[in-house]
């Protein structure tokens, strides 16, 4: 597990640089598939190294793409990075994105900040269903399953590891970075998720090193000057496990 965590942390640092890369430049092969999550059909992209395995695997949870929610984006650069390192990669389209069932984020949430956490908890169900789907594949080493996500995908990542003991490692890439100050519900829910997690998480976030001139909240991170005042920090957390929590054979919590 230590080797897997080290590789995931290394790859996570690369992803922070690659997350804004232009898509479509890779020719990495993937299977465009659909799995079930409750009554929904969730689109996902499956990348697999050559060979029979069993392979470790990573679930990658994408962030928002405003105005392009219904475009299918396979994140080939993510698949290429991790398959070269020997990982199976599953990239689900969050509900309401791509061809996944469910209302889009603008349609279901819009600007209602009180809906942020409930919606992301609903999306966590789809991530846990993705874990169940992967663990059923014959080429997977189910004991070496990791999870990572960017922005709202990072929030969903933390929610998932707070509910399931099956993930060997987790990387939260800037989950809550744009909502931490303005949406207290996100801040409280992320702290609670980190405290409940039994997976060793690596969290990456921006921290202010020179405060930019005052700007409206909606424009806080929109200018180059504001971005130049931020840099990436990385921290590993030692998870605390409530005594009442028990490991199960499924990624679904009891009750």
116-123: list long-range contacts, CB under 8 Å, 24+ apart.
Answer: 116/179, 116/183, 116/185, 116/186, 117/185, 117/186, 117/189, 120/152, 120/155, 120/156, 120/159, 120/189, 121/159, 122/95, 123/94, 123/95, 123/156
**pTM of this prediction?**
0.73
Question: Which DSSP helix (H) or strand (E) runs through 16?
Answer: helix 2-18
CA distance 158 to 167: 11
User: Does some domain include residue 125?
Assistant: yes
Structure tokens at 166: 């099956």
CA distance 93 to 71: 10
How high is the mean pLDDT in each 10-residue block of the chain (255 residues)? 44 41 56 96 97 96 92 94 96 96 91 94 97 97 96 96 94 90 94 89 53 37 33 40 36 38
Q: Structural domain of residue 211, as residue ranges?
A: 2-236
Strands 40-47 and 31-37: antiparallel
CA atoms within 13 A on the CB side of 46: 17
pLDDT at 233: 43
Q: Which residues contact 68 (CB under 8 A, 6 or more apart)?
A: none
User: Does some domain include residue 253?
Assistant: no
pLDDT at 151: 93
User: Does some domain include residue 165?
Assistant: yes
User: Does some domain include residue 131?
Assistant: yes
pLDDT at 203: 64
User: Does some domain include residue 247?
Assistant: no
CA distance 123 to 156: 7
User: Does some domain include residue 217?
Assistant: yes
- Contact by Cβ (8 Å): 234, 202: yes
Domain count, the chain: 1
Q: Residue for token digits 């949430």?
A: 109
User: Does some domain include residue 254?
Assistant: no
CA distance 78 to 132: 21
User: Does some domain include residue 36?
Assistant: yes
pLDDT at 75: 95
Burial class from Cβ neighbours inside 10 Å (0-12, 13-18, 19+) for residue 10 reads exposed
Burial class from Cβ neighbours inside 10 Å (0-12, 13-18, 19+) for residue 226 reads middle
CA distance 183 to 164: 25
Q: What CATH number did the domain enclosing 200 receive?
A: 3.40.50
């Amino acid at each position: 597990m230590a080797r897997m965590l080290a590789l995931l942390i290394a790859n996570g640092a690369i992803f922070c640089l690659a997350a804004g890369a232009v898509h479509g430049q890779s020719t990495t092969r993937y299977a465009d598939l659909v799995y079930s999550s409750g009554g929904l059909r969730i689109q996902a992209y499956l990348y697999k190294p050559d060979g029979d395995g069993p392979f470790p695997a990573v679930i990658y949870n994408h962030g928002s793409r405003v105005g392009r929610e219904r475009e299918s984006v396979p994140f080939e650069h993510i698949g290429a990075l991790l398959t070269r390192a020997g990982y199976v990669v599953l990239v689900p389209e969050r509900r309401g994105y791509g061809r996944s069932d469910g209302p889009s984020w603008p349609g279901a949430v819009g600007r209602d900040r009180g809906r942020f956490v409930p919606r992301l908890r609903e999306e966590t169900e789809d991530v846990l269903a993705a874990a169940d789907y992967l663990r059923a594949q014959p080429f997977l080493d189910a004991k070496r399953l990791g999870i990572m996500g960017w922005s709202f995908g990072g929030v969903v990542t933390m929610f998932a590891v707070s509910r399931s003991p099956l993930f060997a490692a987790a990387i939260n890439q800037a989950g809550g970075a744009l909502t931490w100050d303005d949406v207290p519900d996100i801040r409280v829910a992320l702290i609670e998720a980190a405290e409940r997690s039994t997976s060793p998480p690596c969290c990456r976030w921006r921290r202010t090193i020179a405060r930019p001139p005052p700007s409206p909240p909606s424009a806080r991170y929109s200018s180059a000057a504001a971005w130049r005042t931020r840099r990436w920090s990385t921290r590993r957390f030692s998870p605390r496990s409530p005594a009442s929590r028990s490991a199960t054979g499924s990624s679904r919590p009891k009750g």
